[in-house]
Amino acid sequence: MHDPRVLLDPATDAVRRLARRGFALDLPALEKLFSRRTAVIGQTDESRAESNRLAREVGAAAKRGEDVTEARERAKAVKVRVQELEEEQRTLAAELEELLLDVPNLPSDDLPDGNTDEDAELVRTWGEPPTFDFEPADHVTIGEKLGIFDFARATKLSGPRFAVTRGAGARLERAIAAFLIDLHTERHGYTEFNVPVIVNRPTMTGTGQLPKFEADLFKTGVADRELYLIPTAEVPLTNLHAGETLAAEDLPFAYTANTPCFRSEAGSYGKDTRGLIRVHQFQKIELVRFCTPDRAAAEFDLLLSHAETALRELGLAYRVVKLAAGDIGFSAERTYDLEAWLPGQQRYREISSVSDFGVFQARRAGIRTKAKDGTRGLANTLNGSGLPIGRTLVAVLEQNQQADGSVLIPPALVPYTRFKRVNPDGSVGE
């Protein structure tokens, strides 16, 4: 969420910057609402001071034995006026918050123009996409031939866009998750958390999922409790510090968690209906960092390197792209996508996103900082996928497929799988 004074400051150039991401900011409406609220706050303070003054005068006059009937009426009228102004102030504050909650973050000026993945700017590539002397299959064909996927039974259980893995497939998912958690905690210094995957409305609001994207979320409840299934562990990890003041000298904080994630995929009808690319439920290792704003650029580069290291350790060819201003998430200032090469599709596909949110989420969630010298501010939050289990499995299967239908296991995963190959019949071996 934004400080309205920042949006109204001509130096911010908010209208132009938000237009780059397709959002039309009604600056006159914001200015009118903010000015009215500011005026009412002033009127409330003045009336409250007058009410207190009249109360003292009535008390003093009564002690002197004077007739205070008329003075009490004046004091009563002013007190009523204070209550009316306080109610108007609450109403205006709610209207202002409602307006601001719908305004996305300001995109960085260094992002390219556009609103699709085709408008992204290539940053770098790593690894050579594998070549084959046979027609490479996609992960669905590979997995079903190996007997490690069962999408038909998943549909029977829950409907479309769910998956069942079995045998070596389930083992591979577990191995990928364990490898990634070990990598990020032991080598990259993240603290591992086990967090709730069902959260309340304020928690979803703090990171920007609500109110704008309510239709995209899975919602549940118990009695009168309104609860949501998380779309990413970014939500609970970031909100661990909601309403708190962090000591600036203790930052950065680096958190990770392996959680199920739930997404309705609203607006994706007809896209990636086969396989694990776009499902309603999936596992993901999330990386979240908290820092002071002056450290944001360095922390972004560090976070990006951690996600890239995961792909490199697995030997997966990938590229890094800078998303266009109109294609970044609601809460982000900038986002880089990591895209793994998928031979079955003959294209790069997103496997991780790394985003800098500036102080946008911290303002919504009330995550503040205080330095030793007393300087106060808001925390800068960042997050990235490090990595999603399902899409990583997709890349592993497709990039390591063999002519006989088997799949070789990346050496980094072998200590976790305890096998080096999935044979054509689904069995495992050296």
Residues identified as active-site = 263, 278, 350, 353, 391
Residues 6+ apart with CB under 8 A from 158: 280, 281
- In this structure, the strands spanning 421-422 and 428-429 are antiparallel
d(CA 223, CA 214): 20
Please state, in angstroms and rounded to a whole number, the distance separating the CA atoms of residues 82 and 50: 9
Q: How far apart are the first and last CA of the chain?
A: 53
What does the alpha-carbon distance between residue 35 and residue 410 come to, in Å, rounded to a whole number?
A: 61
Q: Which residue shows structure tokens 């209550």?
A: 83
Residue pair 103/2 in contact by the 8 Å Cβ criterion: yes
Label the pairing between strands 347-356 and 380-388: antiparallel
Going across the sheet that includes 368-370, the strands are 245-247, 368-370, 376-378
Give the integer Cα–Cα distance in Å for 39 and 252. Answer: 39
Place of tokens 């031939």: 145
**Cβ neighbours of 150 (radius 10 Å):** 17
CB 318 within 8 A of CB 126: yes
- In sequence order, which residues have a C-beta less than 8 Å from that of residue 348 and are 6 or more positions away? 318, 319, 339, 340, 341, 342
- Provide the greatest CA pair distance for the chain: 107
Measuring CA to CA, which residue among 156, 241, 253, 181 is closest to residue 207? 241
Do the beta carbons of residue 378 and residue 419 sit within 8 Å?
Answer: no
Q: Using CA atoms, how far apart are residues 83 and 88, in angstroms rounded to an integer? A: 9
**What does the alpha-carbon distance between residue 104 and residue 18 come to, in Å, rounded to a whole number?**
8
Residue 386 and residue 184 in contact, taking contact as beta carbons nearer than 8 Å:
yes
